[in-house]
Amino acid sequence: MSAPLSDVLVLDLTRALAGPHAAMMLGDLGARVIKVESPTGDDTRSWGPPFVDPTEGDRESTYFLSANRNKESITLNLKDAADQEVLARLVQQADVLMENFRVGVLDRLGFPVERLHELNPRLIVLQITGFGHDGPEAQRSGFDQIAQGEGGLMSLTGLTEPTKVGVPIADLLAGMNGAYGVVSALYERERTGRGRVVHTSLLAGMVGVHAFQGTKWTVAKEVPGLAGGHHPSIAPYGMFATKSAPVQIACGSEKLWQTFATAFGIDPALDGFATNPERVTRRDETIALVEDVLADLTAEEALAKLDAAGVPAGKVRTLDDVYSWDQTLSQGLLIDVEHATLGTVQLPGPALRFDDNAYAGGRAEHIAPPTLGQHNDSVREWLDELDSRG
Catalytic site positions: 171
Identity at 230, one-letter amino acid code? H
Q: What value, to the nearest 5°, has the Cα angle with vertex 160 and ends 157 and 165?
A: 25
**Alpha carbons 282 and 194: distance in angstroms, whole number:** 57
| Distance (Å) of CA 17 to CA 45, 157, 167, 173, 179 | 11, 22, 11, 10, 13
Among the listed residues 221, 204, 215, 216, the one whose alpha carbon sits nearest the alpha carbon of residue 151: 204
* Cα–Cα dist 376/382, whole Å: 10
373 backbone φψ class: left, alpha, beta (φ>0; ψ -120 to 50): left
β-bridge mates for residue 75, sequence order: 37
| Nearest partner of 235 among 297, 191, 290, 188, judged by Cα | 290
The dihedral built from the CA positions of residue 78, 80, 83 and 88, taken in this order, carries a sign that is: positive
Cα–Cα dist 203/151, whole Å: 6
DSSP reduced 3-state for 74: strand
How many helices (DSSP H) and strands (DSSP E) are in the chain? 16, 13
Distance of CA 78 to the CA centre of its chain: 28
Number of residues in the chain? 390
Q: What is the DSSP string of 269-291?
A: T-TTTSSHHHHHHTHHHHHHHHH
